[in-house]
Structure 1
C-alpha cells in the first residue's frame, strides 16, 4: 500500500527552537496582533490586509475556522527572545495520497524581519513536514513582484517551477502573477544542512 501524508490540519501542534515558537492562535492574541499587524508594509504583497482591530479579529476567526474545516493549520510565530508575537505561517493545500503540502500564508512584523526568524520558521515547518508528516513534496507560492519573499525561498534552496499569470486577485485590485516553488523529499537532507548554516550565520 502506498504511503500517505500523515496530516490532520484540524489538530493543533506547537514547534520550537531556542529563538522561535510556533503555536496555535487564540483570541487572546488579538491585542498583540493589533500592536504588530497593522503596518501596511506587511500586507503590500498579500491577498488581504489588516487595517484595524475588527480586521484583526476577523483574521483570527478566519484562521481558526479554516483549521476547524481542515483546510489550513496556522501558527502564531512568537519571538522567544522578545516574548512577542512576530507573525504567522501556515500549512495548507494538503494532499494525503500525493504526500504533498504547502507552507505559506506567511507574514512577519517589521520588528521581526531581517533577523533570521523567517529562516527558523521555514526550518521548523520543513522538518515537521518531511520528518513527522512524511511529505515527499513541500510547495510554496508567492507574488512574482515580491522580490524579498522570492529571495528568501531561493536562499533556503526552494526550486522555482514556473509562473501562473494573472493568478490571484490582490487587495488593491491587481491580479498578481504567482510563482510556484518546491522542495522534494530527495532534496531535504541538503536543504536541512543549508538551513542549519543559515541559522548559525543569523540569516
Structure 2
C-alpha cells in the first residue's frame, strides 16, 4: 500500500513537471502560473504546493528534471566508443534538432532567462550547465590523447567554444536568426568536418 502511494506521488510530480514544461513553452516565464500548470496536469492546485512548495520550487525542480535527462543522454552518447568523435559531434547536432522540435530548447532558454533575476534559479542553472561543460572538457581531453593537438586549443577552451556555440545557437534560433539567413545549425555541423580532418590526419600518422 505504501509503495503504491509512493508510486502515485512520483507519477503526480512528474506529470506536474511535464505540464510545467508545456505551460512554460506556451506562456513564457513571465506568464507561467501554478494555476495553469495544475489545470494542464489535471490536478488540484494544492498538489503543486504539496510537491514543490511554490512557483519557484516548481521551476527549480523542472530544470533539474530536464537537465538530468539531457546529461544522461549526452553521457551515454559521448561514452559510446563505437562512434568516432566526429560521429558523436554529428549526433549532438541531431539532438539539438530534436530538442528544438520538441520545445525542449525553448523551455531551457526560458529558465536561463529566469536565472538572470532569480539567484536561486541562477545557482541551479550554473551547476547544470557547469556539469555539461565538465562533460565536454572530459571528451576534449580524451580526444587530445587520441588525435594529438586540438588545433592549439586546450580542452577547456574547446569546451568553452562548444558550450557557447550550442547555447548561442539555441538562443539565436529562437530569435529567428536562422530564418533571416544566418546558418546557425549548418555551421555547427560543418565543425564536424574539422574534427573529421583531425581524425584523418591522426589515422595517417
Alignment TM-score, normalising by the size of structure 2: 0.30
Greater strand share, 1 or 2?
A: 1
Greater helix share, 1 or 2?
A: 2
